[in-house]
Structure 1
């Protein structure tokens, strides 16, 4: 079997160009505020990528960078000010939060206006996924659905999800169920192999580097690798890309698969939030 490699960079570029044209045509001015607490260099790199992407489609991105010792109350006050700012259509708190703030993550995310929650992490948006009426949905879950729907029709498919995250696996399970998929979740890396061999859709977020090999994949399956590791001399995910080629029908590898699409879906949510605020 000839495995089709899912080109995340190309898909992301297509989405960004479509949004750039939409913003120009409609004359809207999407504004994103990103709060990055502390001075973590890797987090700042990701934030700057988001800023560049927002500016590409014709929007504005403000980076707010309080020190790592900011109190929870002061951080929430920053968010509440942005909630009231009519020119700010989307608010994003870069995770993970440092130090003791990490334990307050849920409270911090819940302080974001539901209509400006472009990451889709607000408890209200997460809860409304059960009824299919969330205002904004997790960018990671939307990215995965974008890739899957370019390969297969989810209805009737058996999907095996390995992991338990609130940004990908949990919302993705609900999106797939709403589309008529049969969903099986393995929160921990234990006993998943037999189910993976049955899965017509296999999404692997939790695990160990390159643990998914050809003997653990159903022939013709859509395989989405959502892991990320720095290995000597390379970046890799949970799927052994070389091994599964010839068995998987489609593969979103690491790097180059789901990653680039995440920011494109963030932009989609931002444009949607901007449109809602002006309608």
Structure 2
């Protein structure tokens, strides 16, 4: 069987080109504010990627780096300022938060303006997934849905999700159920093999590096690798691409899979938030 390697970077380029055309005709330009607390280098790298992506479509990005010892009161105060700023159309807090702030994540996310919550992490936006249509949805879940619906009709398919995250697995499960998919969630990578072998669509977020082999797959399955590991000095995911090639129908690998597409969906969310604020204001 020929396995189609799904390149998220190519899908992302198409989305960004379309958004760039739209932004070219907009004034004021969409502006994203990114709050980064601390000096974690991996988080800084993700922030730089997001800044670059916003710049590529002609938007504006304001990265605010707060010190590691920032208190909850100080962080919430910064968010209040951005919520009230009419020039800021989207806000995201780069996760994970460091130190004591990590235990206050829900408080921080709940303080974001619902219409500026471009990550889709506010409890209201997560709750809207139970209704139709949702408003701002997690970028990771949107990226996976784009891939799944491009290659398969989810209705009636068995989709197995290995993981339990609030930013990918939980919203993706709701989106899939709304499309008629039969969804099975395995919160931890424990005794997952038997269910995975029956999956028409398999999304693996948790587990060991390269743990998913050809023997674990249903022939022709769509496999999305959502893991991230350093193994032998290189980046890899939870799926062994060498092993599953020839057994999977489609493979979204690591690296080069959902990562670039996730950032493209962030840009789409920024435009959705912008339209809600600027165009709705014009209607008044």
TM-score by length of 2: 0.96
* Superposition deviation, residue 233 in structure 1: 2.8
Q: Secondary structure at the match of 2:264?
A: helix
* Superposition deviation, residue 131 in structure 1: 1.4
Q: How does 1:85-124 map to 2 (within 5 A)?
A: 85-124=85-124
Q: Secondary structure at the match of 1:134?
A: coil
* Superposition deviation, residue 132 in structure 1: 3.0
Q: What is the aligned partner in structure 1 of residue 265 from structure 2?
A: 265
Q: How does 1:19-168 map to 2 (within 5 A)?
A: 19-27=19-27, 29-168=29-168
Q: What is the aligned partner in structure 1 of residue 223 from structure 2?
A: 223
Q: What is the aligned partner in structure 2 of residue 246 from structure 1?
A: 246
Superposition RMSD in Å: 0.9
* Superposition deviation, residue 27 in structure 1: 4.4
Unaligned runs of 5+ in 1: none
Q: Secondary structure at the match of 1:266?
A: helix
Distance 1:205 1:60 in 2: 32
* Superposition deviation, residue 26 in structure 1: 4.3
Q: Secondary structure at the match of 1:61?
A: strand
Distance 1:141 1:50 in 2: 17
Q: Secondary structure at the match of 1:202?
A: strand
Q: Secondary structure at the match of 1:64?
A: strand
Deviations 1:56-104 (A, max 9, x none): 1111100111111111011001001100111101000000001000000
Distance 1:278 1:62 in 2: 19
* Superposition deviation, residue 28 in structure 1: 5.1
* Superposition deviation, residue 278 in structure 1: 1.3
* Superposition deviation, residue 146 in structure 1: 0.9
Q: Secondary structure at the match of 1:65?
A: strand
* Superposition deviation, residue 133 in structure 1: 3.7
Contact 1:114 1:135 in 2 (8 A): no
Q: What is the aligned partner in structure 1 of residue 186 from structure 2?
A: 186
Number of corresponding residues: 279
Deviations 1:112-171 (A, max 9, x none): 000000000001111111113432000000011111111111111110000000000000
